[in-house]
Amino acid sequence: MSAHFDVGATHMTSSIETQYDEVTKYIRSYLKFSRTSLFEGISYILSRHFPKMFKLIILSSKWNKNRNPLSIRNAPKEYQEFVKELLPTRIIENPFYSIWGSQWPLEALRIELTKKFPQVDFSKLSEIHFLRESKTQSEQLPVKKILGMIFAVCTIVLQIVPKELIERMGLFNYGSFKIATFFVTIGLVLYILLIFLPFWIKSNKIEKEYREVGFILKYAEISLRETKSNKTNTADS
């Protein structure tokens, strides 16, 4: 009986992990599209339709209350057709454009997630994501702590090494010792940055994406919970 339970538990865990991977992959794909499309769209308009850029700015300030000037949600037909005329086909025909270009992209993404993954329990996925995010943060290289330790050690050395000891050694005077310690500190800091900065940048990028994915999962969880609560209250009344 216990063996059967373990198999079932393993299958359930695997199923949740599969759902998590599929949902977060979809969210990351959307985030990638949203990060690149505004810059790509504006760059394309500037290079291909530069004279029309001013008209876009004027119409955007008049009709579009969204920060995204390429959004066409709830805009007049004139503005929608104008924007579609300017943008490259690869952006317009992308399934994520209707979400990204909406008036409320986060809510539009939440609706699309619930349609695409109707059986998913977002509260469980949100919890799994939190655990994975904590694990990822614990595995990150503590560059700030390393730099802090270098400055701390050099400061302590300057404070505890007696001036008389330095001058008695006869290698250089105390002023030169302080200058040498300063440059050694700077050298160590530059060395650490040179070696670990690329990893640090990549790590921060991953951490930022984790936070964005986690925020979307949490929003979907809360929104669905509120929807169910409202339906229950309506049914009871």
Residues 6+ away with beta carbon under 8 Å from 142: none
On whether both 160 and 112 belong to a single domain, the answer is: no
On whether both 56 and 108 belong to a single domain, the answer is: yes
On whether both 111 and 6 belong to a single domain, the answer is: yes
On whether both 111 and 152 belong to a single domain, the answer is: no
pLDDT at 17: 84
218 in Cβ contact with 27 (< 8 Å):
no
The tokens of 79 are what? 């503005």
pLDDT at 6: 41
**Predicted TM-score (pTM) of this structure:** 0.61
pLDDT at 140: 59
Nearest alpha carbon to residue 188 among 158, 159, 152: 152
pLDDT at 65: 58
- 205, containing H or E segment: helix 174-236
pLDDT at 223: 85
Residues 6+ away with beta carbon under 8 Å from 154: 181, 182, 184, 185
pLDDT at 11: 37
Nearest alpha carbon to residue 146 among 200, 197, 194, 192: 192
On whether both 12 and 110 belong to a single domain, the answer is: yes
pLDDT tens-place values along the chain, 237 residues long: 333 334 344 334 448 888 889 999 999 999 999 888 878 888 888 888 777 777 777 777 766 655 666 776 666 777 777 887 888 888 888 889 888 877 788 888 999 999 999 888 888 898 888 887 766 555 555 666 776 777 677 776 666 666 666 666 665 666 776 777 777 777 777 777 777 777 767 777 777 888 889 899 998 888 888 776 666 655 555
The tokens of 180 are what? 């040498």
- Give the distance from CA 84 to its chain's centroid: 28
pLDDT at 82: 80
Under DSSP, is residue 1 helix (H, G, I), strand (E, B) or coil? Answer: coil
Query: Which residue stretches of 64-173 are H helix?
Result: 77-86, 89-92, 97-100, 105-116, 122-138, 143-160, 163-169
pLDDT at 25: 93
Name the residue range of residue 224's domain.
138-236
Query: Where a domain ends, among 119, 150, 169?
Result: 119
